[in-house]
Structure 1
Amino acid sequence: MRRGQISLEFMLVFGILLILMVYSVNNITFQSGSPSTENLRIQVSLEEKALANAISGTVSQVYAQGAGAKATSYVKLTFLRNPQYLSSGLGITGPQIFISYANGTYVTVTGNGYVPIMKGGNKTVFWSRALYSKTLYNDSQVWSPSGSITVNTTTMYGIVIDPTTIPAVLKVVVMWDPASTDSWVYDPNLGELKITINPGG
């Protein structure tokens, strides 16, 4: 084999490796418009939906059992507890997790540059139906720590959570207490979301 052929083959292999390296760097750095940024957005959305499903499922379980019932569920989270993932995937700054309730659980990520979209392929607000039919997003007293978002002209109140305070496995505790009022409290020290329902209250 001639020396010129060896050099040509070497340059071809080197060029392919260089292209692969650039693609890998794009994946790691989550550059805007790269496939990895879109994948990251999808992963965040899937976790938002999974969290909404877990909360609604636990609320439904307690509601089905009746007064005095209590249930606990655990939700493993990776992307919703990482501000860098949230900022890179959603194109926002200062990300916060927002949770509210109206006949089911709403979960979204808010922040600077956030646009609430409830339908379509670019959805940013996720909802999961529950058996407990009650609207709570219009009551600012239910939530702690309390915050709000505006969807069209409607103000929705709910819990606002700093993602850095969310543990790898979030504990969700739901109880039906006839002597209490509806309340949703997130304890950052315990990494626990405690929900009290009272269908008659």
Structure 2
Amino acid sequence: MRRGQISLELMFLLMIFMLILVYSINNVSFSKGPSVEVLKAQIALESKSLANAISNTISQVYAQGPGSKATTYVKLTYLKDSGYLRKAFSGDSIFITYINGTCVGVPTGNELYSSGDNKNFFCTRSLYLRDLSNTPTFPSTLNLDGKSVNGMVIKAENLHGTLKVVVEWIPGDGNTWQYDDGVLRINIDPGG
């Protein structure tokens, strides 16, 4: 009888360890359940951090005046991984626009949502108050809460682990945003 009791206890412990192992694998791989919500939160935080870094750099240049230039480096973990973006938002790219500050979104198809359970669009304010989301500054158009908004779409596979953000104020050159091989170049032109 003692031998049978030991084997039941051992089987019970093995079952508990197996459940913990399966839960851990799902959690680390972000494959289903609560781990997908954790992944969404991580992507949201990184999106907000990226938007904040860009807005702060623009604010610094704006405060320094014409002819000024600033560079910031932003580390990316989740936004550069299309697998993570697909698991969390069924997308494979990020969307950047400027609405009185930088906004970063992870589009689901052509849709962006600024609130609710499907929120995938995150903004931060800047000292440079200008809405460029309906100007030809940006080449792509998506739907934000049912309205068209212009911005730039960057595929996750084209992002690097570190994004270099270079902001300049060159009067007369207009408001321009260009992304090329890990470098986001922005020119602000408050008078233009």
* Common fold by TM > 0.5: yes
Q: Tell me, yes or no, if structure 1 residue 79 matches structure 2 residue 78.
A: yes
TM-score (norm 2): 0.93
Distance (whole Å) between structure 1 residues aligned to residue 122 and residue 42 of structure 2:
13
Q: CA deviation at 1:2?
A: 2.3
Secondary structure in 2 matching 1:156: strand
Q: Point out where structure 2 has 5 or more consecutive residues left out of the alignment.
A: none
2:46 corresponding residue in structure 1: 47
Aligned to 1:132: 128
Alignment gaps of 5+ in structure 1: none
Alpha-carbon offset, residue 170 of structure 1: 0.4
Letter in 1 for 2:103: Y
CA distance in 2, matches of 1:115, 1:164: 20
Provide the residue aligned with 1:192 in structure 2: 183
1:176 counterpart letter in structure 2: W
Structure 1 partner of 2:107 = 110
Distance 1:28 1:154 in 2: 36
Pairing partner for 1:97 from 81, 94, 99: 94
SS of corresponding position for 1:129: coil
Q: Partners of 2:165 and 2:132 in 1: how far apart?
A: 18
1:78, 1:165 → 2: CA distance? 13
- Aligned mates of 1:60, 1:47 — CA distance in 2: 20
Q: Which amino acid aligns with 2:69?
A: K
Cα gap change, 1:115 to 1:181, in 2 (>3 Å): closer
Partner letter of residue 47 of structure 1? E
Identity over the aligned pairs, expressed in percent? 46
> 1:121, CA displacement in angstroms?
5.4
- Equivalenced residues, count: 192
Query: Shift of residue 65 of structure 1?
Result: 0.3
